[in-house]
Amino acid sequence: MSFYKKIINKISRKKQYKHWPGLIEGYKKWLPVNDNTPVITLQEGGTPLIPLNKINSIIGNGVKVYAKYDGLNPTGSFKDRGMTLAISKAKESKKEAVICASTGNTSASAAAYAQRANMRSFVLIPDGYVAQGKLAQALVYGAEVLAIRGNFDKALQIVQEISNKYPVTLVNSVNPYRIEGQKTAAFEIVDTLKYVPDWICIPMGNAGNITAYWKGFKEYFEAGITKKLPKMMGFQATGSAPLVFNKTINEPETIATAIRIGNPVNRDKAFIVKKESKGNFFDVSDDEILNAYKLLGKEEGIFCEPASAASLAGLLKLKNEIPKNSVIVCVLTGNGLKDPDCAISNNNSKFKSDIEPSIEIIAKAMGF
Ligand code: F0G
């Protein structure tokens, strides 16, 4: 084992767990917690880094692509990483209610963790633009759901003002604990690969997650655990790409409703990440997103939500610019089950209905 690998093994994770205890316990020394912090956890984190062999053969040139499948978190998205910490810290300071604006995943996660901590959760969502699975989650977990006539950007502006005026804690990614929790995904990538990938491809909405990943990679680098930093490649949907075109989009549109955001609150941080990491931002069309979404499902057996597929769509768009033998991680932020309507309307599979329950007829339909 190289010296470098030994150091990573020694410092990065204190011990190898038989059962992953959740990211606060797993990465305690990297997080702003103390012995008095009540740990509100659903054992989030510890998600798989899956090699994408078919994608590798499409790209060629010795490039190795992995999916960090964060859709396997307890509420089906990466938001759980930030929420375990944001809710634990709110509980530690005796807060009784939390609020967020959301395109769906933040609200599902906030509701689950808040209820687990016996706190009220209020969620503001853009009426009619939240995928069914996410809305179902917020309701089942017991959130108080307020669907507004307006988009995510408007909802965020309102919850920021409400949390300044009333005793409710804001748990959107302006809450620094969200970023702290989410940075652990970068630690996990390094701990699993035992080296730093060349590129991280990541979908951007409010740009909290790209900020968090970069913080994680930088912390390992500054602690001497790693010797290089990845390029952060951020992708947005063409109709909702304020960070790509560097202007606020008043009426953002995309099939990827999770990232239907025109005025990202972490805009300045995102531009710092781009500059420091020598990365870049690009837009991908809804068709490119759906193509990557279908490819992941059909060729790799991975069902992610449309917003997540923007990371692979972006990588495929840059196919001819990827340096030979690069190692690339595409972050798959949310589970495909979140948005069943999109799945049913966008696939290339065969579906026959109203079939007589007879062996001959079914065998014939099967092509025998
Ligand atoms: N992917 C998914 C599945 C998301 O739900 C989000 C954001 C992003 C990517 C973008 O992450 O905002 O940190 O750049 N969803 C938020 C929500 C806005 O309300 O669930 P970001």
- Report how far ligand 1's centroid is from the alpha carbon of 351 (Å): 31
pLDDT at res. 291: 98
- pLDDT means per 10 residues in the chain (368 residues)? 57 69 97 97 98 98 98 98 98 98 98 98 97 98 98 98 98 98 98 98 98 98 98 98 98 97 98 98 98 98 98 98 98 98 96 95 94
| Smallest CA separation from ligand 1 atom 15, residue | 258
pLDDT at res. 17: 82
Q: Is 172 in the pocket of ligand 1 (CB under 6 A)?
A: no
Q: Is 77 in the pocket of ligand 1 (CB under 6 A)?
A: yes
- Which one-letter DSSP state was computed for residue 324? T
Position 51, amino acid: P
Q: What is the 3-state secondary structure (H, E, C) of 30-65?
A: HCCCCCCCCCCCCCCCCCCEEECHHHHHHHCCCCEE
Q: Is 205 in the pocket of ligand 1 (CB under 6 A)?
A: yes
Q: Give, for ligand 1, the residue of 259, 266, 311 to mutate: max count of ligand atoms closer than 8 Å to Cβ.
A: 259
| Smallest CA separation from ligand 1 atom 3, residue | 334
| Smallest CA separation from ligand 1 atom 4, residue | 258
User: With contact defined as beta carbons under 8 Å apart, do 129 and 70 qualify?
Assistant: no
pLDDT at res. 51: 98
| Smallest CA separation from ligand 1 atom 10, residue | 205
Task: Say how far apart CA 339 and CA 29 lie, in whole Å.
Answer: 36
pLDDT at res. 255: 97
- Report how far ligand 1's centroid is from the alpha carbon of 69 (Å): 14
User: With contact defined as beta carbons under 8 Å apart, do 273 and 243 qualify?
Assistant: no
304-322: b (≥16 Cβ within 10 Å) or e: bbbbbbbbbbbbbbbeeeb
pLDDT at res. 227: 97
Dihedral, 254, 182, 233, 231 alpha carbons, nearest 10: 180
Indicate the angle between helix axes 105-116 and 132-141, nearest 10 degrees.
10
pLDDT at res. 113: 98
| Smallest CA separation from ligand 1 atom 19, residue | 102
Cα-based angle 274, 277, 279 (whole degrees, multiple of 5): 55
User: With contact defined as beta carbons under 8 Å apart, do 303 and 297 qualify?
Assistant: yes
- Report how far ligand 1's centroid is from the alpha carbon of 366 (Å): 40
Q: Is 206 in the pocket of ligand 1 (CB under 6 A)?
A: yes
- pTM listed for this prediction: 0.95
Dihedral, 144, 149, 154, 157 alpha carbons, nearest 10: -40
Q: Is 259 in the pocket of ligand 1 (CB under 6 A)?
A: yes
Structure tokens at 295: 């490819």
Q: If residue 134 lies in a helix (H) or strand (E), which one and from where to where?
A: helix 132-141
Q: If residue 120 lies in a helix (H) or strand (E), which one and from where to where?
A: strand 120-126
Question: What does DSSP say about strands 120-126 and 97-101: parallel, antiparallel, or unpaired?
Answer: parallel
